[in-house]
Amino acid sequence: MRERIALMIKADMGLFHSKKSLAATVSFLVCLMFVPVYGSSYVLDVVNRIGIAVIAALGLNILTGFTGLISLGNAAFMAIGAYSASWLAMRTGINFIFCIPVAGIITAALGMVVGIPSLRLRGLYLAMATLAAHFIVEFLAVHWESVTGGVAGLTISSPTVAGFALDSDRTVYYLIIPTAILSVLFVSNIFRTRVGRAFIAIRDQEMSAAVMGIDVFKYKLISFALSSFFAGVAGALMACQTRIITPENFPISIAIDSLAMIIIGGLCSVIGTIFGAVFLTALPEFLRLATTALAGSFPELIGKLASLKELVFGLLVILFLIFEPHGISAIWQRTKNRF
Amino acid sequence: AADTVKVGGLFDLTGATAEVGKPFLEGVRDAVTWMNNNGGVNGKKIELISVDYGYKTPEAVAAYKKFVEQDKVVMIEGWGSGDTEALKDQVTKDRIPYFSAGFTAHMNNPAKTPYNFFLGASYSDQVRAFLQFVKKDFKEKGKKPKVCFIYPNNGFGKSPIEAGKLYAKEIGIDVVDDQITPPTGFQDATTQLLNMQKQGADYAFIQNTVKWSAIILKDAKKLGLKTKFFLNNYGMTEQLPELAKEAAEGVYGMATTVPYGTNVPGMKKITDMHAKNHPKDSHNLFYVRGWTYALTWGEGLRIADKNKQLNGEGVKKALESMNNFDLGGLVQPVTYSGADHRSSTKSVVYVIKGGKLVKVEDIDVPRKKEWLGL
Amino acid sequence: MALSLNTQLSCHDIRLTFGGVTALDGVSFEVMDGEIFAIIGPNGAGKSSMLNCISGLYRPQQGEIKFDGLTIRDLPPHQRAKRGIARSFQNIALFRELSVIDNIMTGRHLSQRAGVISGGLFWGWAKCDEEHHRAVVEEIIESLGLQDIRRCAVGSLPYGRQKRVELARALAMEPRLLLLDEPMAGMNAAERDDMVGFILEANCRRKITVVMIEHDMGMVMDISDTVCVLDFGKRIALGSPEQIMNDPHVIKAYLGEDDGFF
Amino acid sequence: MDFTFLMQLLINGLVVGSIYALVATGFVIIFKSSSALNLAQGEFLMVGAYICLYLVLQHKVPFIAAFVITMLFSALLGIVIERTTLRPLLGSPVISVIMATLGLASVLRALLQIFFGVDTIPFPEIFPPEPVHIGPVPVSIGYLYSLCCVAVLLTALTAFFKYTKSGLAMRATASSRQTALSMGISVKKVFAMSWCIAAMVSAIGGILLGAIRGGVDMSLANMGLKVLPVVILGGMDSIAGAVLGGLIIGLLENLCGGYLDPLVGGGVKEVVPYIALVLILMVRPSGLLGSRRIERM
Amino acid sequence: MLKVENIQVVYGDSMLVLKGPSLEVPEEGIVALLGANGAGKSTLIKAISGLLASEQGKIISGTVLFRGDNITGMAADDVVRRGIFHVIEGRRVFQELTVEENLAAGGYTRKDRAGFRSDLEFIYDFFPRLAERRRQSAGYLSGGEQQMLAIGRGLMARPQLLLLDEPSLGLAPLLVQEIFSLIRRINTERKTAILLVEQNAAIALSIADHAYVLENGAIAMSGKPEELNASGEVREFYLGISEHGERRGYKAMKEEMRSAFPAHRA
Ligand SMILES: Nc1ncnc2c1ncn2[C@@H]1O[C@H](COP(=O)(O)OP(=O)(O)OP(=O)(O)O)[C@@H](O)[C@H]1O
Ligand SMILES: Nc1ncnc2c1ncn2[C@@H]1O[C@H](COP(=O)(O)OP(=O)(O)OP(=O)(O)O)[C@@H](O)[C@H]1O
Ligand SMILES: [Mg+2]
Ligand SMILES: [Mg+2]
């Protein structure tokens, strides 16, 4: 009896539900290792952007999907991460690689400050406070020229690791993708433990969470901190990838894209976040390639084709929501169950 | 195939600058067709691969990588300041000449950005020309003229301001005020104008695109301001009188390309192509600008090909060998050199009269060395 | 009956108003360690409000609440939970998207230690800790007969089952004081029997003091040690079940003359 | 001089605020029936403006007639959108609905681009270009119209929600769809109606804005985002709140633009609404006039 | 009047909850439906009122006939317009609306203004607590008050068939009696037929003309109240009456437990 229960517990707690899924994951990771060997720098650029999007969206999913606090501040957090890493690297001369986690921590601290209104604000009202944070950060990025370089922004020299310069898509890949994988693992783990459960409890029933002994405000702040940590790291990686950051790199549309990723991927699903990030980063790329190819044959139509791109994008989003309101992760679950 | 020359084109057809991006693209494309019909690049056809990047920098970067790796283009017709800035190191590394339709002065210093080009007087030189005009125009004795700059808070907006302030000081003009508008999406500039009025500015230079300039002018008209307004080469277009209506009357502005249909030798082929390809579209000087860009780098490609150096570096060299290359009056004659990518420092001042753009005068700004990149 | 005479919870002169509505009006009572204390009264009398004051969801405008002799009046709910107060709700307040197990696991929140970083790494002791508490929860699941639904999302369970999960979640906190708001509402006779069993077990075996609100008079009179009657926010009676049953005020305000249904 | 300056700022703030209020009202109507934020609000404005423009320019329809046709068209559009996009999403979480409105925004923008191109189309002068003077302050006539519209809409909509059966049905539906259904309220009809009304209100806003700006183009949609703080400040479920919020933000922007901008070198006007918003929300978590969230066990 | 025939219901494509029960409500009758938690009682009446659709539930076979018309799978609002009103279990009031607005929403499908007013008066008379709170948001009402409001809404609609899901939930004993006499009254005065789901089996059986027992999604027993009252199983599980014919008490159980674990903390 005891053993049975113990076994059951082990099975419940594992990240992988079967040997097969573990094997599949491992082989996928091995394949990922070899992308830079075969992929062109265009492909790598897209994959790198996906990796960054995964980290950022993962952060947002902690806050919005799991804790139920809708945030439009993700772009701002990414900006904070990007600027603080770059500023640190430039000012102190510390290797950029080490500035990335520090930037994450700085962003986490500021994220907590942004989270303070969550003490009193709920739902869309809180979302608006985070939107306010976005515009305030944007204002500072433009005006605090001594740190941010104003509208001209900052240019970062490429970091080096053990003599290797991370100056190409190929090399940056080995920084971004492992970070993304570690982030996925970390977040999956969080949701097997009490911290993750506390987040979900707060989302589902705040008062009853408080009565269970969960310090609601503290955990909301933790959620903000954790979420902005990942966004900050994503921002720092983005700085590393593009090597020039300006206020225009972090428009509100990035925050909205992050939201779209987690909703289309599946709220409170880690795997869904990955799918969402892939989908929303690759889709515009795909649509652009398609319309460019078409425009080659019908040059007169290029204007209309360009609009068509946006039309298809919007339609896909709507259709997705209609036919799979629980996101890609639900489709994934179903296909997985079939095997 | 060996008998084509590939050129990548990044255009904005759906993003924030689509309304100027579209006629520009059409101009470039018609010019390419025209060149191909008229001998091409010494018999080789130019293949323009155009991509709409929606004014989103990451998409521009991705498209650029595809151009270089998969399409193997020899040069790129770029567009805005975001993509240009983001790619400036990359193009230097890859040796890909990169034309942009932004006129920021810091792109014309080959010591820093050897592969970046644009065509026409920089924003800074336009402001200098404006200041020269003010100096001449201001008649009140014993007083210094007061000027104000109105610009949006972004790279494009700020680009000429420092240069402008320095030059104003140099020639004895007071800059009384900066008025900052949002980059996009405002419908009211009253507070900025009221503040400007308080400072008593005699002249104002609006560094903005036509639709936002029109809003500012309308509000100025509503407030009954006496200030004389000047626009840059994205504000002074055929659209201004349509949008700002009476408020546009008497407003001055700079043009780097002649308005569509102007009676200059180079215009005929343009109006012909237009009648053939877009009989219904109404066109403006951005369409002409597209032409001038394509004709210029088309010439570059031709020279490079003649030198048997049809690659990025060769095209750059070819462009830098151009001296007073004349496009039939469509744009000031083009001169590039290895040390200076200012194609011209001359601006043409227009004024709106009876809803039309009327040429006032040419203003040449000295080609000073220390102004390179500023 | 071996009831200790230590006061565990004392409420003194509690007054709670919402705008113009007076929900509680100078209510006082004491709950002994280990007893079953029932609060009854007509609808809207202020019973749930009283529990909310004890668990910290409402803050009374006036009065004193002491737990183990220390005032808890100004503590936020989670700190009261730390002191050992657990509760269930009248309108079920489970975490709808979580499974039954995870709902009950939240009850272990205070006993667990893992933080963000150790949790994220899920290595060594964080893992052991999780396994250990999981085992405790499995035990509670078994003793309340919830095995068959342990992996179900609670949102779609029938009302009666949800009430039971709520009790399990509260028990998982290993509280000293358990507040139950209508634990048997919506159950049939057989299920009521089970529920009474669970409550008595909690009280006797786990030594948990119980304060409960119930409209099932038969059950209240049978199992509680003390009954407090509220009406219009005022305490109208307090005493042993026998005293209450015969109290004319209580009969008039609450029970009715005809006691045919219990 | 300084007093005039203040007066100018105040009056300009009020009239500009009235446009915000008008747009914000569209948000509130949708929110009141479905608890969702319509992020395609800006595109709704654009549709109204473009349709009216198209009728006037291409078909030479007199402005009043064009206005009426635009209203009818918008109503129809509201219904079509409800049918095709919102109704299939009936059971989904609110956040999905919000996301869908974002997709909708893309679709509407793309369609408008395909039909009308990306150029700024000059708006015919439907109001006399000469401003009227309120005291020393010149005000564009378009803004006066918007003030009137706001006043009319405020009373009409408030009465509608408070005293009519349909208004009650809308509020009931927002509160709980399932329970509303069990009352015999047709949730579908309620949604159709609210999208219909919201689209019409937005069209009015779009036409006025187009007329005030003198041209219509894709950037008109930015107004949707711009007005968000207004809606939240007033309280998302209050028409009066939207109006109050609009006026307050209008005033605030102008006062800060007038007095603070010169001090810090511009751009304050853009953030100030947000800073004020957060401060006010900390005191009133559901906006100035929004109904408080019910949290009770 | 209402006839449910072999109805099968699944939730979310897979979970079969109703396994073909049939049931009938005669004109002007009161029918009680008993059953354990999770037996599917609420599901059954949701299937009648059309509210299943909003919970991912589906009727996969069987029919629901109302006065001879097939209303299987009809939209909930249409069902209400035909005269069937469902008082949902668990006090689903419109929290943000005031008490009076809630009642008005109950009368949404009505056309007669005068009757509307008099019914409102009638409800306030019957539930004075609601009258006191008429302008207050319903979300702030106590549990019992919300239940009163939910029932009040059902009365406002003046349906021909009223489906009541656990009306006595959370109501004080005195009020429970009153509510059930009210149900009787509505039944006789207004000729409203009633289908009643109730855990308090004793009182439900006391007013019903006919009763069904649902177990595991199927009808396990049905008959006149007297017949059910006589059944051992019903007595044991639903009425809580022991074999000896008296109400089962918990006193003994408590004594037993207390003596089994005597040592209380000192
Ligand atoms: N929305 C739903 N989705 C999935 N399963 C559901 C849903 N609603 C109910 N169920 C399941 O259907 C079964 C019957 O539920 P139902 O609510 O009809 O029971 P009931 O007899 O009314 O019980 P109670 O007395 O507790 O109200 C239960 O096992 C429940 O888990
Ligand atoms: N947050 C609140 N705001 C306003 N009024 C409230 C609030 N909470 C409770 N009330 C009012 O206080 C009174 C007492 O409510 P309470 O919930 O304590 O009653 P109760 O005794 O639990 O009744 P029931 O048996 O019906 O659950 C009610 O009239 C209710 O309307
Ligand atoms: Mg209560
Ligand atoms: Mg039920």
For residue E172, the ligand 2 atom closest to its alpha carbon is 25
Half-sphere exposure of C6 (CA within 13 A, CB side): 12
Q: Hey, which bits of B55-145 come out as E strands? A: 75-77, 98-99, 116-117
Report residue C254's pLDDT band, with 50, 70 and 90 as the boundaries: confident
- Residues having CB closer than 6 A to ligand 2 are C 18, 21, 23, 41, 43-49, 90; D 296; E 140-145, 170
Q: CATH number for the domain including E205?
A: 3.40.50.300
Residue E199 in any domain: the answer is yes
For residue C176 the two structure tokens come to: 């000293």
Q: From residue C81, how far is each of C72, C170, C181 by CA, in Å?
A: 11, 10, 16
* Lowest mean pLDDT across A131-145, D136-150, E141-155: D136-150
Residue C70 CA to residue C64 CA, distance in Å, equals 10
Task: Give the count of beta carbons closer than 10 Å to the beta carbon of residue B6.
Answer: 15
Residue A263 in any domain: the answer is no
What is the total count of domains within chain E? 1
For residue B169 the two structure tokens come to: 């000081």
Question: Do E23 and E193 form a contact (C-beta atoms < 8 A)?
Answer: no
Residue E188 in any domain: the answer is yes
Average predicted confidence (pLDDT) for chain A: 89
In this prediction, residues C178-193 reach a mean pLDDT of 88
Q: What ipTM was reported for this prediction?
A: 0.91
Touching chains A and E? (3+ Cβ pairs < 8 A): no
Question: Do C63 and C14 form a contact (C-beta atoms < 8 A)?
Answer: yes
Residue D42 in any domain: the answer is yes
Bridge partners (DSSP) listed for residue C15: C25, C62
C46, closest residue in chain E (CA to CA):
E142
Residue pLDDT, tens place only, B36-62: 999 999 999 999 999 999 888 888 998
Residue B243 CA to residue D216 CA, distance in Å, equals 9
What does the pLDDT read at residue C262? 40
DSSP string, chain D: -HHHHHHHHHHHHHHHHHHHHHHHHHHHHHHHHHS---TTHHHHHHHHHHHHHHHHHHS---HHHHHHHHHHHHHHHHHHHIIIIIGGGTTS-HHHHHHHHHHHHHHHHHHHHHHH-SSPEEPP--S-SSPEEETTEEE-HHHHHHHHHHHHHHHHHHHHHHHSHHHHHHHHHHH-HHHHHHTT--HHHHHHHHHHHHHHHHHHHHHHHHHHHSEE-GGGGHHHHHTHHHHHHH-TT-HHHHHHHHHHHHHHHHHHHHHTHHHHTS-HHHHHHHHHHHHHHHHSTTTTTSPPP----
CA angle at residue E222 from E216 to E223, to 5 degrees?
A: 165
For residue B297 the two structure tokens come to: 């780098």
Residue B93 CA to residue B111 CA, distance in Å, equals 14
- Nearest-Cα distance to chain E for D133, in Å, is 44
Backbone φ and ψ for B277, nearest 5 degrees, come out as -95, -35
In this prediction, residues C225-245 reach a mean pLDDT of 93
CB neighbour burial string for A103-127, b if at least 16 within 10 angstroms, e if fewer = bbbbbbebbbebbbbbebbbbbbbb
Residue D248 in any domain: the answer is no
Residue pLDDT, tens place only, D27-71: 999 998 888 889 999 999 999 999 999 999 888 899 999 999 999
What is the total count of domains within chain A? 1
Subunits next to A (3 or more Cβ pairs <8 Å) are B, C, D
Residue E176 CA to residue A135 CA, distance in Å, equals 57
Residue pLDDT, tens place only, B290-299: 999 999 999 9
What does the pLDDT read at residue D185? 93
What does the pLDDT read at residue A1? 57
Residue pLDDT, tens place only, A294-321: 877 777 777 788 888 889 989 988 998 8
DSSP string, A67-90: S----S-HHHHHHHHHHHHHHHHH
Residue ranges of chain E whose pLDDT lies below 50 = 265-266
Q: Where do the H-state alpha helices sit in B120-204?
A: 123-137, 155-158, 161-171, 190-199
The minimal CB distance from A197 to the residues C102, C127, C151 is found for C102
For residue E145, the ligand 2 atom closest to its alpha carbon is 26
Listed residue (D144, D149, D146, D174) closest to D238, CA to CA: D174
Stated as kind and residue range, the H or E segment containing E210 is strand E210-215
Residue E172 in any domain: the answer is no
Residue A288 in any domain: the answer is no
Q: Which ligand is nearest to the CA of E142?
A: 2
Residue C260 CA to residue A1 CA, distance in Å, equals 47
Residue E104 in any domain: the answer is no
Beta strand C36-40 with C226-231 is parallel
Q: Which domains does chain C have, with CATH numbers?
A: 1-84+175-262 (3.40.50.300), 98-174 (no CATH)
Q: Does the pLDDT of residue C257 top 70, yes or no?
A: no
3 state DSSP class of C257: coil
E38, closest residue in chain C (CA to CA):
C158
Q: Does the pLDDT of residue A13 top 80, yes or no?
A: no
Listed residue (B303, B278, B304) closest to B291, CA to CA: B278
Report residue C1's pLDDT band, with 50, 70 and 90 as the boundaries: very low
What does the pLDDT read at residue A324? 85
Bridge partners (DSSP) listed for residue B5: B46
pLDDT > 90 fraction of chain C, expressed in percent and rounded: 59
DSSP string, A18-41: SHHHHHHHHHHHHHHHHHHHHS-H
Residue pLDDT, tens place only, C135-144: 899 999 999 9
What does the pLDDT read at residue C2? 45
- Best mutation target among A287, A318, A329 (most D Cβ atoms within 10 Å) is A318
**Structure letter (DSSP) for residue C86:** E
Indicate yes or no: CB of E49 within 8 angstroms of CB of D296.
Answer: no
DSSP string, A193-229: SHHHHHHHHHHH-HHHHHHTT--HHHHHHHHHHHHHH
In this prediction, residues C114-131 reach a mean pLDDT of 81
To which residue do tokens 């740190």 refer? A147
What is the total count of domains within chain D? 1
Report residue D136's pLDDT band, with 50, 70 and 90 as the boundaries: confident
Listed residue (A172, A178, A176, A173) closest to A159, CA to CA: A172
What totals of helices (H) and strands (E) does chain E contain, helices first?
Answer: 11, 11
For residue E46, the ligand 1 atom closest to its alpha carbon is 18
The minimal CB distance from E94 to the residues D175, D181, D186 is found for D175
Residue pLDDT, tens place only, D200-219: 999 999 998 888 888 888 88
Indicate yes or no: CB of D184 within 8 angstroms of CB of E101.
Answer: no
What does the pLDDT read at residue E264? 52
Contacts of E247 in chain C (CB under 8 A): 218, 262
What does the pLDDT read at residue D123? 87
pTM over 0.90: yes
Query: Which residue type, as a one-letter code, is found at position E199?
Result: Q
What does the pLDDT read at residue E265? 45
Residue B317 exposed, middle or buried by CB count within 10 Å (0-12, 13-18, 19+): middle
Q: Does the pLDDT of residue B229 top 80, yes or no?
A: yes
Residue E190 in any domain: the answer is yes
What does the pLDDT read at residue A176? 94
Q: Does the pLDDT of residue C4 top 60, yes or no?
A: no
Query: Which residue type, as a one-letter code, is found at position D226?
Result: K
Best of C18, C27, C88, C254 for a ligand 2 pocket test (most atoms within 8 Å of beta carbon): C18
In this prediction, residues C250-258 reach a mean pLDDT of 75
What range defines the domain where residue D142 resides?
13-124+135-220
Residue D188 CA to residue D184 CA, distance in Å, equals 11
Instruction: Assess B16–A contact: CB distance below 8 Å, yes or no.
Output: no
Backbone φ and ψ for D141, nearest 5 degrees, come out as -65, -35
- Best mutation target among E51, E78, E94, E103 (most D Cβ atoms within 10 Å) is E94
Contacts of A56 in chain B (CB under 8 A): none
CB neighbour burial string for C183-201, b if at least 16 within 10 angstroms, e if fewer = bbbbbbbebbbebbebbbb
What range defines the domain where residue E12 resides?
2-94+159-167+180-260
3 state DSSP class of B17: coil
The minimal CB distance from A42 to the residues B50, B57, B66 is found for B66
The minimal CB distance from D181 to the residues E76, E139, E157 is found for E76
Residue E88 CA to residue B267 CA, distance in Å, equals 78
What does the pLDDT read at residue E266? 37
Query: Which residue type, as a one-letter code, is found at position C228?
Result: C
3 state DSSP class of C194: helix
Residue A172 in any domain: the answer is yes
Torsion sign (Cα): A138, A144, A148, A152: positive
Q: Is the CB of E216 under 6 A from ligand 1?
A: no
Touching chains B and C? (3+ Cβ pairs < 8 A): no
In this structure, which residue's CA is closest to atom 18 in ligand 1?
A: E40
Average predicted confidence (pLDDT) for chain D: 89
Residue pLDDT, tens place only, A213-266: 999 999 999 999 999 999 999 999 999 998 889 888 899 989 989 999 999 998
What does the pLDDT read at residue B281? 78
Best of C49, C50, C55 for a ligand 2 pocket test (most atoms within 8 Å of beta carbon): C49
What does the pLDDT read at residue C89? 92
Residue pLDDT, tens place only, D67-110: 999 999 999 999 999 999 988 888 788 888 888 998 999 999 99
Bridge partners (DSSP) listed for residue B206: B150, B231
CB neighbour burial string for B48-64, b if at least 16 within 10 angstroms, e if fewer = bbbbbbbbbbbbbbbbb
**Cα D255 to averaged position of ligand 4 atoms, centre (Å):** 59
Instruction: Assess B50–A contact: CB distance below 8 Å, yes or no.
Output: yes
For residue D297 the two structure tokens come to: 């066990």
Residues of B with a Cβ under 8 Å from any D Cβ are 13-14, 16, 18-19, 21-22, 153, 177-182, 184-185, 187-188, 190-192, 194-195, 198, 210-211, 214-215, 218, 221-224, 239, 242-246
To which residue do tokens 């995870």 refer? C102
What range defines the domain where residue A206 resides?
40-250
What does the pLDDT read at residue A2? 64
Residue E26 in any domain: the answer is yes
